[in-house]
Amino acid sequence: MKSVVHIEEIEPEIVLLRMQDDVYKNTFSKALIDELIDAFDAIQANQTYKVVILTGYDTYFASGGTRESLLAIHEGKEKFTDKNVYSLALNCDIPVIAAMQGHGIGGGLIMGLFADFVILSRESVYTTNFMKYGFTPGMGATCILPRKLGISLSEELLITSANYRGADLEKRGVPFPVLPRVEVLNHAVELAREIAEKPRYSLVLLKNHLVAPIRQELPSIIEQEVTMHEKTFHQQEVRERIHNLFGK
């Protein structure tokens, strides 16, 4: 079976993690989730890596839940917490750069925002489209969005579920580099080289200190998101919206 997550040490101490599920366009298929978890486990076990670059392929970074997974949650067969893919970057000991060269949709955008550094593409679409399907946000969105973007823009993104190009977010003052797509990965590599100049032990210690408040806060917010899902996800209207939106 063809791998959909590729891990490569592109330079000493710098590891590139590329998501490339071209069949499902980097939606959270079972293969993508399982291979991402395995890849981060392998990175955690390697004591020489100092920094991770997480990226996608072509025009896709990560595209959120599949139709099947959303319907399974609607039917009560699954929860988004069954496999924790959303906070892999947060839980990684070493710094993670999300080189979001392509579209970041729903949970795909949220997964990227849990990274320590975020780089956006001017051309790509970024959206937290949970409410477009009629259910409240999950994947830790209500935790990380306000921390990274501020409450006002976060409420706008989460409630309206609108699509934003990277260029639109740049005008709104997001605190990330927003570059032409072709420049995103190169910028990430340059940043990774700067990070890799530092001692690994110091990087791990400082990252753990900086993200400790988010790690502490996240479980209770996830619990609240699951509770909201239990109230909103099982509506018949949600099922109809899933079918209609995926059918387009």
Domain boundaries, the chain: 5-181
Give the mean model confidence (pLDDT) for residues 57-75.
96
Q: What is the mean pLDDT of the chain?
A: 97
Q: Is the pLDDT of residue 1 over 80?
A: no
Distance CA 232, CA 209 (A): 35
| Per-residue pLDDT tens digits for 194-229 | 999 999 999 999 999 999 999 999 999 999 999 999
Q: Is the pLDDT of residue 4 over 80?
A: yes
| Residue 147: count of CB within 10 angstroms of its CB | 14
Whether residue 229 lies in the annotated active site: yes
Distance CA 62, CA 111 (A): 8
Could you tell me which CATH number the domain at 5-181 has? 3.90.226.10
Residue 36 CB contacts under 8 Å (≥ 6 apart), including other chains: 5, 17, 19, 85, 88
Of residues 175, 177, 210, the one with CA closest to residue 90: 210
248: confidence class by pLDDT, cuts 50, 70, 90: low
Question: What pLDDT sits at residue 247?
Answer: 79
Give the mean model confidence (pLDDT) for residues 38-48.
97
Read off the pTM: 0.97
Alpha helices in 46-172 (DSSP H): 67-74, 88-91, 107-113, 141-149, 151-160, 166-171
Distance CA 238, CA 152 (A): 26
Identify the active-site residue in 6, 209, 229, 243. 229
Percent of the chain past pLDDT 90, that is, above it, reads 98
Give the mean model confidence (pLDDT) for residues 233-248.
91
Give the mean model confidence (pLDDT) for residues 8-19.
98
Give the mean model confidence (pLDDT) for residues 132-152.
97
